[in-house]
Amino acid sequence: MSSSWDVIVDALPVLAQGSVVTLKITVISLFFALLIGLLFGLMSTSRSKVLRGIATAYVDFLRGTPLLVQIFFIYFGLPPVLDIKIPETTAGILALSLNAGAYLAEIFRGGILSIDKGQMEAARSLGLTHGKAMRLVILPQAVRRMIPAFVNQFIVTLKDTSLLTVIGIRELMNSGEIIISGNFRSFEIWAVVAVFYFLMIYILSLLSRSLERRFAK
Amino acid sequence: MKKLMFAVVSSLLALTVSACGSGTDQASTTSGQSGAKKYVIGTDATYPPFEFEKDGKYVGIDIDLINAIAKEEGFEVEIKPMDFKGIIPAVQAKQLDGAIAGISITDKRKEILDFSEPYYQAGLSLVVREDNTTINGEADLAGKTIAIKKGTTGATFADELGKKYGATVKYFDDSPSMFQEVQNGNADVTIEDYPVISYKITVDPASKLKIVGDRLNGDHYGIAVLKGNKELQDKLNSGLKKLKENGKYDEIINTYLSTKK
């Protein structure tokens, strides 16, 4: 049997490749999730009952089912019924975006509601439309308060990408599993996989902390 | 950076080792009532006809075999279902005393596990969608996508084919996922043990799958045991021998497969 160090060195390039895929999927998913979250967050704080109803239904449904079920449903369940082909990366990004979007919608809603009512009233009395008041007055203040919650969701989503191993996406988790199924060295490989996830999230946290310092004032 | 990595990895390792020090050997336990030795046996419950769930109970060739052996040899069995790729690591980690899951005996696996005598000859087959006419053998795999289950001999084989013919290999956790992948058209072909795929096609015609070409090799299944567990290995071998002699072995095989071997 080869030494632990050799096993780790052999695995590094494959695991690094997996990490790149993990990061890519995380970033793209979070981009869409932010758009979804903003849209449904605004809808859930709007005065229209219909829009609020749609937003609540979306959040309740996506938050009320496990991400793993959503991944399987989108990738294995939908294609035969709709008679379409969904590539695994598209399906993975779709599932993660929809899921994280629901959580982000709640973060947006909470942030928006945390801003004093008087702000909106003052902006409206200055002659701003509801949309303009939201964009220029409410959201800039709300987003500042939301940063810690955002960062939390980013970290969760990065870790959630590991579930995509079930649909064959070669991200970090899948790469680790493939290596172990070939060399049976669970101990070394899982240790390195853990370190890789940790490093990615640690760097992300550092970035977000400096971001927070810049915006929090 | 390299130094930092090494420091982090090695401290992680040290921590885990010290944490696990007391936890070895928890797999084998003796049951209080009968006094019979109880073994924890891992399996992959998504692998008909060898092991699957029916009416809330685990059934299949492997399950019936291990139960029959236990009866012959007077020990108890606790069946633990898990992902196939996790089974061999779990035996290594002493979470399991052994495993029966259509595990092909290979030299690589023999380095880390002991096996019973072979109990079944399987062999790999190429599987495509019914409407696929372009793949008729391994030579047609250039540029195609192969769906495969992690940790199987089929996966090792697919890796080699992938390199040889320039095919892409996609890894899944269980057989149903890789079959669905081919049914949905996201992969062109999968590689599965012959009895498993022929059973699947027989009981599930809606799967729209077919076998192409000849069997690719002649793997033998064995029951895996923790390296050095001579006691269990001997019981398994002696049990298997008795079942073959008294006809019970053939009976079990014929219950699930119409054609023997």
Average pLDDT over all residues of chain A: 94
Mutate to test the interface with B, among A9, A17, A76 (most CBs of B within 10 A): A76
Determine the average pLDDT of the residues in B69-93: 94
Please report which confidence band the pLDDT of residue B217 belongs to, taking 50, 70 and 90 as the band edges. Answer: confident
Segment A190-215 shows an average pLDDT of 91
Which three-class secondary structure state does DSSP give residue B190?
strand
Per-residue pLDDT, averaged over A127-148, amounts to 93
Q: Does A7 touch chain B (CB under 8 A)?
A: no
Going by their DSSP bridges, the two strands B113-115 and B224-226 should be labelled as antiparallel
pLDDT for the residue A210: 87
Which tops the pLDDT comparison, B218 or B5? Answer: B218
Provide mean pLDDT across the span B2-31. Answer: 52
Residue A7, pLDDT score: 94
Distant-in-sequence, close-in-space partners of A70: CB < 8 Å, separation ≥ 6: A62, A95, A98, A99
SS3 content of chain B, % helix, strand, coil (to 5): 45, 25, 35
What sign has the CA pseudo-torsion B52, B57, B63, B64?
Answer: negative
Q: Using the structure block, give the residue that is written with the tokens 């009895």.
A: B195
Set of chain B residues whose Cβ sits within 8 Å of the Cβ of A196? none
How confident is the model over A176-204, as a mean pLDDT? 93
In the structure, what pLDDT confidence band is assigned to residue B31 with cuts at 50, 70 and 90? very low
Q: In 3D, which of A164, A86, A89 has the Cα closest to residue B172?
A: A164
* Pairwise CA distance, residues A11 & A183, whole Å: 10
Answer yes or no: do B147 and A168 touch at CB < 8 A: yes
CB B12 within 8 A of CB A190: no
B147–A177 C-beta distance less than 8 A: no
Instruction: Give a three-class secondary structure readout of A5-69.
Output: HHHHHHHHHHHHHHHHHHHHHHHHHHHHHHHHHHHHHHHHCCCCHHHHHHHHHHHHHHHCCCHHH
Task: Give the span between the Cα atoms of B99 and B78, in whole angstroms.
Answer: 11
- The Cα-based distances of A62 to A49, A51, B14 in angstroms read 20, 17, 40
pLDDT of B25 reads 45
CA distance B108 to B150: 15
A59 touches chain B (CB under 8 A): no
Instruction: Report which of residues B200 and B5 the model is more confident about.
Output: B200
A chain contacts of residue B171, beta-carbon cutoff 8 Å? 168, 170, 174, 177-178
CB-closest option in A76, A177, A181 to B184: A76
pLDDT over threshold 80, residue B15: no
Q: Amino acid identity, residue A172?
A: L
Cβ–Cβ of A168/B180 closer than 8 Å? no
Judged by a CB distance cut-off of 8 A, whether residue A71 touches chain B is no
The distance of B151 to chain A (nearest Cα, Å) reads 4
Residue A60 has pLDDT above 80, yes or no: yes
pLDDT at A184: 84
ipTM: 0.81
pLDDT in tens, B42-54: 999 999 999 999 8
Helical segments of B44-137, H only: 61-73, 84-92, 107-110
Would an 8 Å CB–CB cutoff place A2 in contact with chain B? no
Query: What span, in angstroms and rounded, lies between the C-alpha atoms of B232 and B224?
Result: 10
Strands (E), chain B: 29-30, 37-43, 52-54, 57-59, 76-81, 98-99, 113-115, 120-121, 124-129, 145-149, 168-172, 189-193, 209-212, 220-221, 224-226
- Please report which confidence band the pLDDT of residue B22 belongs to, taking 50, 70 and 90 as the band edges: very low
Counting every residue written for chain B, the total comes to: 261
Residue A208: what pLDDT?
84
Tell me what pLDDT residue B6 has.
Answer: 60
CA angle A6/A9/A10 to nearest 5° reads 85
> Strand B168-172 to strand B189-193: parallel, antiparallel, or no bridges (unpaired)?
unpaired
Please check whether residue B118 is in contact with residue B49, taking contact to mean a CB–CB distance below 8 angstroms: no
Query: What does each C-alpha distance from B86 to A32, A183, B92 come to in angstroms?
Result: 34, 13, 10
| Chain A interface includes B150 (CB < 8 A) | yes
Which positions in chain A touch B89 (Cβ < 8 Å)? 180, 184, 186
Contact (CB<8Å) A165/B173: yes
Q: Looking at the complex, report in whole angstroms how far the Cα of residue B45 sits from the nearest Cα belonging to chain A.
A: 17
A174, A184, A185, A200, best to mutate vs chain B, most B CBs in 10 Å: A184
Return the residue in B170, B178, B182, B189 with the most chain A beta carbons within 10 A, the one to mutate for interface testing: B170
Taking contacts as CB-CB distances below 8 angstroms, the residues of chain B near A76 are 177, 180-181, 184
- Beta bridge partners of residue A62, listed in sequence order: none
For CA atoms B109, B111, B112, B113, the dihedral sign is positive
Q: What does the block give as tokens for B117?
A: 């005598």
Pair B117, B237: CB distance under 8 Å = yes
Res. B27: pLDDT tops 90: no
pLDDT tens string B235-252: 999 999 999 999 999 999
Inform me whether the C-beta atom of residue A8 falls under 8 Å from chain B C-beta atoms.
Answer: yes
Decide if B100 contacts B81 (C-beta within 8 A): no
Nearest CA in chain A to B86: A181
Query: What count of Cα atoms within 13 Å lies in the side-chain half-sphere of residue B3?
Result: 0
pLDDT at position A80: 87
Higher pLDDT: A182 or A27? It is A27
Q: What is the pTM of this model?
A: 0.81
Token pair for residue B82?
A: 């898990």
Task: Give contacts of A 144-173 with B, CB under 8 A.
Answer: 165-168, 170
- Mean pLDDT for the stretch of residues A35-63: 96
pLDDT at res. B216: 87
Paired tokens of A174: 């899948």
Average pLDDT over residues B185-210: 93
Closest chain A residue by Cα to residue B90: A186
Task: Supply B164's token pair.
Answer: 């040889």
Residue B5 predicted with pLDDT over 70: no
For chain B, the average pLDDT equals 88
State how beta strands B189-193 and B52-54 pair: unpaired
